[in-house]
Amino acid sequence: MTDSPLLISKKDAICVITVNRPEKLNALNAATLDALDAAFVDAEQDAHIRVIILTGAGPKAFVAGADISEMNTLSAAEGRDFSLRGTRMMRSVERLSKPVIAMVNGFALGGGLELAMCCHMRIASENAKVGQPEINLGLIPGFGGTQRLLRLAGRAAALELCLTGAPITADRALQLGIVNRVVAAEALEAATFELATQFAHASPLALRGMLDCLNVGGECGIEEGLEYESAQFGLMFSTEDMREGTTAFLEKRPAVFKGR
C-alpha cells in the first residue's frame, strides 16, 4: 500500500523494515504500531527470511518517540489501550524466533528507545542519542521502557534515564549496555548488514534455540533455565543442521545450514 507507514524490502535471507514517517521523525502512532506488528508476523512466517533489520527513514531519527499529536487527546482508557497495543507488539518482537537487529541511525527517544530495546541486538550510529523523555510530558514510559532498561542497564541507569528524561549519547548507551555496538554514521548500514549476513548463514534452528533459552532464562530461576537449556541442547541432536555443522568442522570446511 502506498500510504503504509513502513518500507519493507527482502533480499536473500534478510528482511529490512523501515519506519517511514520522516516528516514526523518516524514517530509511532497506532497505525504504525499495527503495521509493524503485521510486518514482523510476515517476516516470521516467511521461510526464506532468517534475520530482520529494523530502522527509521531519513538521517535524523530511528524513531523519535510516540506521536504526541495523537496521544494528546486520548482518554485514560484510550491511553491504556495505546500502551497495550505497543507493549504487545514489542513483546512479540522480543519473542520472535529470528534475530532482529535495530539499526539506530539517529534519535531513539521514548517509544523509539523502547522499540529498539525489544530487538535482540542494537547497532547505533555514533551520532545517535537515546532516552526516555516522558517525564517532560507529564508521562511515564508506556511500551516497556522501565522494565527493559532495568534488565539491560540496571536500576541506577534506568532511574537516571527515566527520572531526568535527558538523552544520552551512543557511547554512553554502549557503556550502560543499552546498545551492543557503536559505529561511524557512514559505516552503520554496512556494519548492520555484515552482522545480519552472519546470522543469515548460521543455523536458524540453533539461533531459535538460543533465543528461546535467553527469553526463558531471563524470566525464571537458574535451575529452570539450566533445565530448559539442556532440553534445547538435546533437541539440536535431532537436526540435520547439527550433523552438517559438526561434520563440516571435522572436515575443515564451511557448513551449509538448511534449517532442518
Task: Tell me the β-bridge partners of 52.
Answer: 15, 100
Distance CA 174, CA 9 (A): 28
Which residue in the list 44, 114, 223, 224 is annotated as catalytic?
Answer: 114
Which residue in the list 134, 160, 224, 251 is annotated as catalytic?
Answer: 134
> Strand 168-169 vs strand 129-131: parallel, antiparallel, or unpaired?
antiparallel
How many C-beta atoms lie closer than 10 Å to residue 95's C-beta?
A: 12
Active-site residue flag, 134: yes
User: What are the strands of the beta sheet with 168-169, ordered from one edge?
Assistant: 61-63, 107-109, 129-131, 168-169
Active-site residue flag, 224: no
> Strand 14-19 vs strand 51-56: parallel, antiparallel, or unpaired?
parallel
How many C-beta atoms lie closer than 10 Å to residue 94's C-beta?
A: 17
Active site residues: 114, 134
